[in-house]
Structure 1
Amino acid sequence: MNLLAVVDASVNKEGLQDLTMQRTVSSVPFAGRYRLIDFPLSNLVNSGVNTVGVFPSNPFSSLLDHIGGGKSWDLDRRKNGLFFLPVTQRNGGLSTVGPFAALEEHMQFFTKSIQPYVVVINSFVVTQLDFKDMLKQHIKSGADLTEAVSSGVSLKTYILSKELLIELIQTHRDKKVVSVEDVVNLKKSPYTFNDYEYSGYFAIIDSIQSYFQASLALLDEENRKQLFLPDRPIYTKVKDEPPTRYIHGAHVKRALVANGGTIMGSVMDSIISRGVCIKKNTQLEKCVIMQKCVIEENCDLSYVIADKEVHIGEGVVLRGTAEQPIVLRKGAIVTKEDL
């Protein structure tokens, strides 16, 4: 494959702050058993791209723990494979994709690679992009930069020649541009531009509301069919856990439930991650519950996002709205006395 990949995991989205205080946007859990970065990494592997540089900013320990050496994506190779390339920007990077100052810190990644083209991809847009087809159309167009779009919406993903990317990195201060996205948005001369039209499912995760809406949208079977394709699987870190146990009296309807949990109560229109325990006489409706949360008896939750390892005490009632879901931060302990 003549394509080198840059996964920009340094992008900061202020609207996701409640979920990114201890992690990058790219490592935010999604769809019960995945992280957001699983989708770009899987798209790259499914497109035959096997040289991938991940450029995260702090805090990235959660991301590093998740992707490791890239084994789950068949990127743990002696030649090429996955390169974890942290940048010095702290507390999140810019809100623009492909920042030249960050890429400049790892110029050897580009100068030592043999691929003539580069795809610059973000980790907050969930898609099933075929980069092999996108590269083919980029070359055919003769343009300097190609941007992936869907019905006029930018998917913040770009293909250009490695030679041009190196030139932009080296001259960005003189040209007064900060990123690949910036060059495309400004339609900066003397470059030429092309759009690659993508027609599949996509979700842009840049706020709590968009995260919540995109999560519950996966309860729609048609959306799942477009995102989880049999011939283009979404890979993630493998965890050997038993199936979720459904205790007598449990009621589950229109929900995505990952493995390793225990359900004794009622779950409707919700996303339940690995290792979650929902106890007796508890009702959940339109909730996103992340890994290893415990919800005690007699709780009533609706429109709630609970980050990892949240403990909700007995009898707690929490009701948000579709526009403003309640967010419980990672590791929070919530009791009736707190409300």
Structure 2
Amino acid sequence: MNKDMLGIIDATTVHKGLEELTIHRSVAAIPFGGRYRLIDFILSNMVNSDIQSVGIFSKYQYRSLMDHLGSGRNWDLNRKRDGLFFFPSTSFDKPVTGIGPFEDFAANIDFFKRSSQKYALVANSYTVFNMDFRTVLEEHINNDHEITEVRKDGAPLGIYLLKKDLLIDLIETRQDTGYLSMKDVVNDLNAPYKVGYFSYEGFAIMIDSINSYFEASKRLLQPEIWQRLFVKGRPILTKVKDEPPARYTSSSSVHNAMIANGCYIEGVVENSIIARGVTIGKGSVVKNSIIMQKTKIGENCYLDHVILDKDVKIADGTELMGEEGNPYVIRKGRVQGVWKN
């Protein structure tokens, strides 16, 4: 029996609650955990589930996403047969509120028809989790479901499994049925399909707002969450960057933090995630914060409950403070204070 799955990642979704982080990038490309992007989790889960062909559908600000994915080599998807396929949208109409935009799929229907896989897994690009989809497929087949929706604690995770031929039919009949996405099909109580639900018991959190992003990031600092998310044998893969190890001076102090490669730390870091290539000056204190790639923090600064996007510069003596449930966000490339080179 052909149990091969075709991976479909919907990277078209727009979340208004994430606007501060999506001015120059899509939701799928938001940095996470110091060295990853949000799309790395679903893409790695697919690869670890023996999915060898993945189509990524995007719509807005997708340049950084394309740069991150490249040929798919870091996920072993740079293949002569199957592999990674990227489909930018040709339509920029009002976004569909549901995973799996059939209009975008229809514009690339040949991709689906030429694929040899029997089943299709349609998923969002912004859920942080680690899952083996082969267990979903087994339950889908054993229960003779036509569509299986993955849920966590009874709530949908925006992940659907169905036969590829059924997906093609749903795409081609969208104007007759009125279904615009997989969510529309599953939520229609009168739909003529046998829908089942797979209950996922592991750690999972959907990133759809600044607060959910901040909360998910903080939870990475808990060892039990880290162990549930980064599972031996099912690695979360990402774009490889060759950088030197982080450097710590005698004036530095780090407690309960994640520090990526290429950082230079002279100050104090507590309960924070520091991405690649960040510098933190002498006398500065960074607490309960997320600092993204290549940001420069000067001397004698104080940052608490702050999210600094990439390439931000914080001048000497600057104080920035957010609060629980409302972190202070500075957009990519901004300069705070009078920066002296």
The interval holding the TM-score normalised by the smaller chain is: over 0.9
Partners of 2:77 and 2:93 in 1: how far apart?
A: 28
Partner of 1:236: 238
Q: Report whether the alignment pairs 1:150 with 2:136.
A: no
Query: Which letter maps to 2:156?
Result: S
Aligned to 1:205: 207
- Quote how far apart the aligned CAs of 1:163 are: 1.0
Shift, 1:93, TM fit = 3.6
Tell me the distance in 1 between the aligned counterparts of 2:205 and 2:277: 26
Secondary structure at the aligned position of 2:235 is classed as coil
Q: How does 1:151-170 map to 2 (within 5 A)?
A: 151-170=153-172
Residues 59, 90 of structure 1: 8 Å contact kept: no
Matched residue, 2:74: 72
Whether the 8 Å CA contact 1:10–1:92 is kept in 2: the answer is no
Query: In structure 1, what residue type is equivalent to 2:76?
Result: D
Give the aligned partner of residue 13 of structure 1.
15
Do 2:305 and 2:328's aligned partners in 1 also have CA atoms closer than 8 Å? Answer: yes
Alpha-carbon shift at residue 186 of structure 1 (Å): 2.3
Is 140-149 or 287-296 further displaced after alignment?
140-149
**Structure 1: which 5+ runs fail to align?**
none
User: The residue matched to 2:231 in structure 1 has which SS?
Assistant: coil
3-state SS of paired residue (2:168): helix
How far does the alpha carbon of each residue in 1:247-299 deviate from its partner, in whole angstroms, 9 at most, with x for none? 11100000011110100000000010000000000001100000000000011
Contact 2:96 2:180 in 1 (8 A): no
- Distance in 1 (CA, whole Å) between partners of 2:207 and 2:39 is 12
Equivalent-residue separation in structure 2 for 1:152 and 1:258 (angstroms): 35
Structure 1: distance between partners of 2:93 and 2:129 = 26
Counterpart for residue 227 of structure 1: 229
1:230 counterpart letter in structure 2: K
Number of matched residues?
A: 337
Q: Tell me which residue corresponds to 2:6.
A: 4
| 1:60 CA displacement | 0.5
Q: 1:277 aligns with which of 273, 276, 279?
A: 279
| TM-score (ref. length: structure 2) | 0.97
Q: Identify the range of structure 1 (177-186 vs 73-82) with the bigger mean alpha-carbon deviation.
A: 177-186
Indicate the SS of the match to 1:85.
strand
**Identity value in percent:** 45
In structure 1, distance between residues paired with 2:264 and 2:192: 59
State the Cα deviation string for residues 24-81 of structure 1 (Å, max 9, x = none): 1000000010000110110011000000001111210000000011000000000001
1:176-217 deviation line (CA, Å, top 9, x unaligned)? 121011211223411111011111111110000000000011
With over 3 angstroms needed to count, the CA separation of the structure-2 counterparts of 1:68 and 1:93, relative to structure 1, is: farther
Q: Which position in structure 2 is the counterpart of 1:335?
A: 337
CA gap 1:274/1:92 in 2 versus in 1, 3 angstroms: farther
Mark the runs of 5 or more structure 2 residues left unpaired by the alignment. none
Measure, in 1, the Cα distance between the counterparts of 2:231 and 2:183: 28
How far 1:91 sits from its partner (Å)?
8.7
Question: Distance between the aligned counterparts of 1:49 and 1:248, measured in 2?
Answer: 47
Matches of 1:186 and 1:164, distance apart in 2: 16
Q: Does 1:256 align with 2:262?
A: no
